[in-house]
Chains A and B, each alone.
Chain A
């Protein structure tokens, strides 16, 4: 209790003091660059937010502020490849909203980002949740910064497509809705390409069609989009009855839908390959659909796989698409007939099939409300990125591969491997100093550095101290 009052201003001060053109050098630590071999007692120099040099006998510039990491371990900042936290709300209520961006929903003051820094996560991809059809634009952010523009690394990197049925749709309806939106967007793209060809060609008349008076009646009343229904309405004897509409409100091309143009524009970027498609598969039966969508629309797909999807591991491997696993990595399955219980270890299973994976974590309860206070301390387990990697190691995944799965691999999946994910000269100065081995239970994050600034120091972490303080008499 004694030092408590002093720590708070100090914490704020450290965040403010570190400036971008400051030169930092970390010496004496064991460096795990991920992209290369381990450097014992190496030196790493950070200048202007970038890594200037990494090595054993790197000279330390005289102007550098030196951090002594003797006996400690230096790793690249961890990267969370898929997180739906840090926003005011995980999902949008409307199902088709590819034009929305998480950037507009990110709240830098949320506990989530503080927790990230405490865990050594320096970069996170914020992707909308799975309860929509097209969920909106994802963004990559730094986990430190007071304002959004400080945090943002890259916006509009991809769109979430969920194959889990939403609302009262069934799976057929979900897939049909996805396809019709993509078709409409593609149509609009080609349409724009040949603007000169404005006049649509009338379809060749089938034989016998004009015979009935209803038919003749209906023909001129056909709007291009939902013509079938209006014709049906003409034929309906009961004029009181409203015209039936087959597809519903998520139809594109409906003049009544002001969002349609936005939807098409957003999806056009997806179809042009400018953005990733984060495709969420809840069940194994969704995996072939996802792969087919990727193939049919030439998407840059990333599979976000639910735990049960391991049954489709062969198809996943054959597709060659990057894979993000949901937080549950070890599960028990009961054979429906024999009643036998079987342990399924996903990292091992995917590894045996030759599928490199990346991990995600379980949202803790504090994820939703940053200002609510009284947030619950996170429990040990699947809500830590390093724990996921350690689980993989426990079940036989090589150490290097597991470490890569929370650093370089997510950077590759997100397309930022040229600037993040490993300790190499020229990359962003996202560095974490650990008290010991990154995948060990008793290891603490000592210092987190984002873009050359120290954003977290355990010595100044009021919350950790409060947590570890001996019970007052």
Chain B
């Protein structure tokens, strides 16, 4: 759902295509909908219609056309759903026979169809009611566009008849309807209406059609509607899912010369081969819901039935089980393989669907003169990883963009880049979620969305180096090292929104020590920055025992890491040797073959020494629980060691820096001011928090200020859930009590990223993720408010 919202915003911001403009789209493949794909194809579009389509080498693109190379992308026609209940959401009238009701009257032109559109569905059939014998007239409608007359592809498309068991036992009605009651107009008991059985239904239909055929010149809307099959050549769409429905309808069709579209036909008592003269096409219910697990017999798409009907020469279209599944229509069509070929499967939702609905003159295929409704896929239609990239309706872009964000240019009075530089009256250019340029003068591409924040200050997104939210509960129990927390993050944790609204764009989460730490961005669908980004240990309580257990843990880790290290070091050497050995052997054999004729001479050289094969190094066993230690000892990730008191800090430094030589960041480190020199010497970082300023007996300790003065790199943590949102305020207080604002800001941004070795975040410099905070004034000023927050180039709070 969140995904879709981004799309809508995007669709709105796309520049409209001016009239007369010619656009040419080139793609690696183009599936026209009714035949095999064309490789290296080009599609030429003008005024919402297709001008030309074919191989790039054969189609001449008119002079002055805007050319767009879609690269490896694949173009298919806009998809067609052959039956939906989007009109009136399937609400039924009380009466059983309402042929004059028109689904097009119940369709909400202003409804929100973004989900279906982003799934590539551009055209749908809308049905009148779904639980009455003859609920009315269906229509074919496009889900996009502002010109409603053009959006109606065909109306009426069909006269709907429901057999199966849906029509049975409609509600009893008051006849005449309830009105003022008086002696001469008493309230009558309710009356039953058609129909309780198939026989009654068929008899009723026959009578109705008879009356319609023999109707007089009067305009009776019901009879006129019933006569549509003859007057307007409207098809009769019959849901015939019960045994006996199809033969009964075929008989009616023969009698009244009707042209049928069968929906979910039941084959009992009928042969598909006999349908041809009266059946125009068939709509099959897919039967499966994408990704829905249910008990009972496993649902299967009626692929064999589709095969049988196609073989009989009739077009087959499909309808999803529910309207909500429209967004997955292409995926559902793919379920009909392997009984159907890929081309046939695509036809279910393109060319054949158009044929069944009788709208092939406008949609369903990519051919000159047709509406320019098409979908750009990242790969072949039914490949596993294929995604829908773009959707076009009548030549206009209406669907999603893979790059999610357009290019944005943000201007502000001041920009703190996080590198210590403060730019005044500067701008940031953001493209594809990354910062492309920062400075007083930056490039301004023509399609860029410019946003002015006068008087505002832009700073990098904040980093909270320790939080407790993200997995939907508390992390009190130990989390094994092999568990990737990044894969366990929940969607839309209630803490995400308030936290990111405070300007925090990256947070660190871990279980209690010993544990792996994950860094992620608190968007609704959290994005992992790095997993693991560090390993967390603790030195607390009885120091001698916790120190020895830390040593033990690290030693085990180092043994494992060393084994891999050795293996990886030896492997290239071995491979080199092996190559040399193979070459030597080959050379010898060649030499031997060459000198075979001079055998006598060869005998003389019998003492030729045979090279010894090199020995392959032994590959250590992979242990997922120890795997993170390889990164730790390779100094790719740091160790976060929780240590508060001075002795614990000294111990941590001794163990991690001197004994094991890993990158060390202390967590907490209340007593750090006493050992600042040591920490600075050894290059040890500190994560301070949740309490930054402490009142002790002798006075106040401003921990971050002391660290900054001592030259120790530090970051901040909240160790809180939603409370994480107060972290910038807490730092603000530390600034109020003496910490330099720049040190506070850098501790929240660049230094934190630097400590963790995260290169993609922390500063506002080209190439970094576009994570930033727009503030109303100078950072840490109590009057300053957060105006907007951006994560990966998208506004997450505005």
Co-assembled chains A and B: yes
A: residues with CB less than 8 A from B are 93-94, 168-173, 175-176, 179-180, 183-184, 186-187, 200-203, 205-209, 211-212, 214-215, 218-219, 222, 224-238, 241-242, 244-250, 253, 256, 283-285, 288-289, 311-312, 314-315, 335-338
Once A172-B103, A234-B207 are accepted as A-B contacts, the answer to whether A253 and B88 lie under 8 Å apart by CB is no
- B192 in the interface (beta carbon within 8 A): yes
Q: Given the complex of chains A and B, what is the CA–CA distance between A200 and B214 in angstroms?
A: 12
Whether A218 pairs with B180 at a CB distance below 8 angstroms is no
- B273 in the interface (beta carbon within 8 A): no
Whether A247 pairs with B98 at a CB distance below 8 angstroms is yes
Once A208-B255, A228-B211, A312-B110 are accepted as A-B contacts, the answer to whether A242 and B191 lie under 8 Å apart by CB is yes
Once A227-B215, A285-B107 are accepted as A-B contacts, the answer to whether A250 and B5 lie under 8 Å apart by CB is no
Whether B220 pairs with A253 at a CB distance below 8 angstroms is yes
Q: Given the complex of chains A and B, what is the CA–CA distance between A212 and B91 in angstroms?
A: 36
Whether A172 pairs with B106 at a CB distance below 8 angstroms is yes
Whether A200 pairs with B217 at a CB distance below 8 angstroms is yes
Within 8 Å by CB of A246, from B99, B177, B192, lies B99
Residues in A whose Cβ lies below 8 Å from that of B221: 176, 179-180, 183, 247
Residues in B whose Cβ lies below 8 Å from that of A284: 108-110
Which partner residue on chain A sits nearest B215 by CB separation?
A: A203
- B631 in the interface (beta carbon within 8 A): no
- 15 A-B pairs within 8 Å (CB atoms) are namely A170-B88, A173-B93, A200-B217, A208-B257, A209-B213, A209-B256, A232-B204, A232-B211, A235-B203, A246-B95, A247-B221, A249-B179, A284-B110, A312-B110, A337-B8
Min CB distance B161 to A, Å, is 14
Residues in B whose Cβ lies below 8 Å from that of A238: 200
Interface size on B, residues (CB 8 A): 71
Q: Given the complex of chains A and B, what is the CA–CA distance between A27 and B8 in angstroms?
A: 60
B residues 198-226 touching A (CB-CB < 8 Å): 199-200, 203-204, 206-208, 210-223, 226
Once A173-B101, A231-B211, A284-B109 are accepted as A-B contacts, the answer to whether A200 and B203 lie under 8 Å apart by CB is no
Whether A235 pairs with B204 at a CB distance below 8 angstroms is yes
Residues in B whose Cβ lies below 8 Å from that of A283: 108, 110
Once A232-B194, A337-B5 are accepted as A-B contacts, the answer to whether A170 and B91 lie under 8 Å apart by CB is yes
Q: Given the complex of chains A and B, what is the CA–CA distance between A222 and B226 in angstroms?
A: 15
Sample of 15 further A-B pairs with CB below 8 A, known A244-B191, A245-B173: A171-B88, A203-B215, A203-B217, A209-B213, A209-B256, A212-B206, A224-B216, A227-B223, A235-B203, A237-B200, A247-B221, A253-B220, A284-B110, A312-B109, A338-B5
- B69 in the interface (beta carbon within 8 A): no
Residues in B whose Cβ lies below 8 Å from that of A180: 100, 221
Min CB distance B716 to A, Å, is 29
B residues 80-122 touching A (CB-CB < 8 Å): 87-88, 91-103, 105-112
Whether B257 pairs with A314 at a CB distance below 8 angstroms is no
Min CB distance A107 to B, Å, is 21
Q: Given the complex of chains A and B, what is the CA–CA distance between A48 and B109 in angstroms?
A: 53
Residues in B whose Cβ lies below 8 Å from that of A186: 219
Min CB distance B96 to A, Å, is 6
Residues in A whose Cβ lies below 8 Å from that of B177: 248-250
Whether A249 pairs with B222 at a CB distance below 8 angstroms is no
B residues 214-254 touching A (CB-CB < 8 Å): 214-223, 226, 230, 254
Q: Given the complex of chains A and B, what is the CA–CA distance between A120 and B308 in angstroms?
A: 77
Residues in B whose Cβ lies below 8 Å from that of A203: 213-217
- B293 in the interface (beta carbon within 8 A): no
Residues in A whose Cβ lies below 8 Å from that of B257: 206-208
Residues in A whose Cβ lies below 8 Å from that of B192: 241-242, 244
Q: Given the complex of chains A and B, what is the CA–CA distance between A215 and B255 in angstroms?
A: 10
- B610 in the interface (beta carbon within 8 A): no
Whether A285 pairs with B109 at a CB distance below 8 angstroms is yes
Residues in B whose Cβ lies below 8 Å from that of A285: 107-111
Whether B214 pairs with A172 at a CB distance below 8 angstroms is no
Min CB distance A263 to B, Å, is 14
Min CB distance B208 to A, Å, is 4
Whether B255 pairs with A212 at a CB distance below 8 angstroms is yes
Within 8 Å by CB of B106, from A170, A187, A288, lies A170
Residues in A whose Cβ lies below 8 Å from that of B175: 242, 245, 248-249
Which partner residue on chain B sits nearest A249 by CB separation?
A: B177
Within 8 Å by CB of A237, from B102, B173, B199, B218, lies B199
Q: Given the complex of chains A and B, what is the CA–CA distance between A336 and B256 in angstroms?
A: 48
Whether B109 pairs with A288 at a CB distance below 8 angstroms is yes
Once A206-B230, A224-B216, A246-B95 are accepted as A-B contacts, the answer to whether A94 and B109 lie under 8 Å apart by CB is no
Q: Given the complex of chains A and B, what is the CA–CA distance between A234 and B204 in angstroms?
A: 9
Within 8 Å by CB of A335, from B5, B206, B219, lies B5
Within 8 Å by CB of A214, from B101, B136, B200, B203, lies B203
Interface centre among B128, B207, B212, B255 (most CB of A within 10 A): B207
How does the 8 Å CB contact mask read for B151-184 relative to A, with 1 for contact and 0 for none?
0000000000000000000000101110110000
Residues in A whose Cβ lies below 8 Å from that of B220: 224-227, 253
Interface centre among B93, B107, B203 (most CB of A within 10 A): B93
Within 8 Å by CB of B203, from A171, A175, A237, lies A237
Which partner residue on chain B sits nearest A338 by CB separation?
A: B5
Residues in B whose Cβ lies below 8 Å from that of A245: 95, 173, 175, 193
Within 8 Å by CB of A184, from B112, B146, B176, B219, lies B219
Whether B98 pairs with A176 at a CB distance below 8 angstroms is yes
Which partner residue on chain B sits nearest A211 by CB separation?
A: B255
Q: Given the complex of chains A and B, what is the CA–CA distance between A242 and B194 in angstroms?
A: 10
- B4 in the interface (beta carbon within 8 A): yes
Residues in B whose Cβ lies below 8 Å from that of A312: 109-110
Within 8 Å by CB of B105, from A187, A222, A289, A315, lies A289
Residues in A whose Cβ lies below 8 Å from that of B660: none
Min CB distance A448 to B, Å, is 39
Which partner residue on chain A sits nearest B200 by CB separation?
A: A236
Min CB distance B782 to A, Å, is 27
Residues in A whose Cβ lies below 8 Å from that of B696: none
Q: Given the complex of chains A and B, what is the CA–CA distance between A201 and B216 in angstroms?
A: 6
Whether B102 pairs with A218 at a CB distance below 8 angstroms is no
Whether A172 pairs with B88 at a CB distance below 8 angstroms is yes
Q: Given the complex of chains A and B, what is the CA–CA distance between A226 and B220 in angstroms?
A: 8
Min CB distance B321 to A, Å, is 22
Q: Given the complex of chains A and B, what is the CA–CA distance between A84 and B148 in angstroms?
A: 32
Whether A205 pairs with B96 at a CB distance below 8 angstroms is no
Residues in B whose Cβ lies below 8 Å from that of A288: 109, 148
Interface centre among A201, A228, A229, A235 (most CB of B within 10 A): A228
Q: Given the complex of chains A and B, what is the CA–CA distance between A225 and B194 in angstroms?
A: 19
Min CB distance A289 to B, Å, is 6
Within 8 Å by CB of A168, from B8, B94, B207, B219, lies B94
- B1 in the interface (beta carbon within 8 A): yes
Min CB distance B765 to A, Å, is 30
Residues in A whose Cβ lies below 8 Å from that of B94: 168, 248
Residues in A whose Cβ lies below 8 Å from that of B148: 288, 315
Q: Given the complex of chains A and B, what is the CA–CA distance between A312 and B109 in angstroms?
A: 9
Whether B101 pairs with A172 at a CB distance below 8 angstroms is yes
Q: Given the complex of chains A and B, what is the CA–CA distance between A230 and B257 in angstroms?
A: 22
Residues in B whose Cβ lies below 8 Å from that of A173: 93, 98, 101
Whether A228 pairs with B212 at a CB distance below 8 angstroms is yes
Min CB distance A259 to B, Å, is 10
Whether B97 pairs with A231 at a CB distance below 8 angstroms is no
Within 8 Å by CB of A244, from B92, B97, B230, lies B97
Q: Given the complex of chains A and B, what is the CA–CA distance between A270 and B217 in angstroms?
A: 23
Within 8 Å by CB of B222, from A200, A228, A289, A315, lies A228
Whether A248 pairs with B173 at a CB distance below 8 angstroms is yes
Q: Given the complex of chains A and B, what is the CA–CA distance between A175 and B103 in angstroms?
A: 10
Q: Given the complex of chains A and B, what is the CA–CA distance between A298 and B555 in angstroms?
A: 90
Q: Given the complex of chains A and B, what is the CA–CA distance between A232 and B111 in angstroms?
A: 39
Whether B213 pairs with A206 at a CB distance below 8 angstroms is yes
Residues in A whose Cβ lies below 8 Å from that of B606: none
Q: Given the complex of chains A and B, what is the CA–CA distance between A14 and B255 in angstroms?
A: 81
Q: Given the complex of chains A and B, what is the CA–CA distance between A283 and B102 in angstroms?
A: 18
Once A172-B87, A205-B214, A284-B109 are accepted as A-B contacts, the answer to whether A231 and B207 lie under 8 Å apart by CB is yes
Whether B5 pairs with A219 at a CB distance below 8 angstroms is no
- B605 in the interface (beta carbon within 8 A): no
